[in-house]
Amino acid sequence: MRILIVEDNEGLATGIVRLMNSEAHVTDWVPDAETLQTGLNPAGYDLFIIDLGLPGIGGIELIRWLRAQGVEAPVLIVTAQDAVKCRVRGLDAGADDYLIKPFEVEELEARVRALLRRRGTPITSSIEFGPLSLDLGARQFSLSGAPLGLAPKEHAILEALIRRAGLTVSKEALLDAAYGFEEEVSPAAVEVVVHRLRRKLEGSKAVIATLRGFGYLLRIQAP
Ligand code: CA
């Protein structure tokens, strides 16, 4: 899926782009409405993530413009303004859903999945890797068929690893996955969660390997 993010906060936008790309989407980012209106073809996107508080032309106006252009792709509003009035205006302008900043990574992923599903796009419902299985709908991991009890941070990190199973995932990417973009957390926090995950995976063939200086890798232990 091709996703366009219109967001003037570069840090947040970069985080969302990284996250969406890790979900196998192709994601572009523009910092304001004008860049989209003058330089891009909106028909080329399957989903828009739009910040309401944009410099220049605001998010609401941009959504109206998109709909006036005949663009039918779903629009997810991201806003720091919690006011009901503001969200209602966004939905009235043609948005499909909204998220209030700061938000959890899992929530953004879930909203995007739901919007794309509503559009009739077939979405993977589970990810399998060796004895591990992740049911994306129920957000539940199983190990050898038995439900695996995980704390939210453990779930987020194991999900980031299974989505890129067999590939190295940097500590920074895991930090983003578990703690979002707004929290200031030391990378050492990731080590603690990985340590707990390893204990829960103990005795199975699924192993979280450390690549010093690079990050972590979920792999299947050779017999
Ligand atoms: Ca903004």
73-94: pLDDT as tens digits: 999 999 887 677 778 888 889 9
Confidence category of residue 193, pLDDT binned at 50, 70, 90: very high
Is 173:160 a contact under the CB 8 Å cutoff?
A: yes
Residues 59-85: what's their mean pLDDT? 88
Which residue ranges does the chain devote to CATH 1.10.10.10?
126-220
- Crossing angle between the packed helical segments 171-179 and 188-201, to the nearest 10 degrees: 90
- Does the domain spanning 2-118 belong to CATH 3.30.70.3000? no
Expressed in angstroms, the distance from the first to the final Cα of the chain is 37
Note the CATH architecture for domain 126-220: Orthogonal Bundle (1.10)
How high is the pLDDT of residue 84? 76
Cα 52 to middle of ligand 1, angstroms: 7
**Higher per-residue pLDDT: 155 or 117:** 155
Cα 47 to middle of ligand 1, angstroms: 19
The answer to pTM > 0.85 is no
On the question of a cis peptide bond just before residue 102, with omega within 30 degrees of 0, the verdict is yes
For residue 51, pLDDT beyond 90: yes
Cα 54 to middle of ligand 1, angstroms: 5
Which is it for strands 75-79 and 47-51: parallel, antiparallel or unpaired? parallel
Which residue ranges does the chain devote to CATH 3.40.50.2300?
2-118
Residues having C-beta closer than 5 Å to ion ligand 1: 8, 51, 53
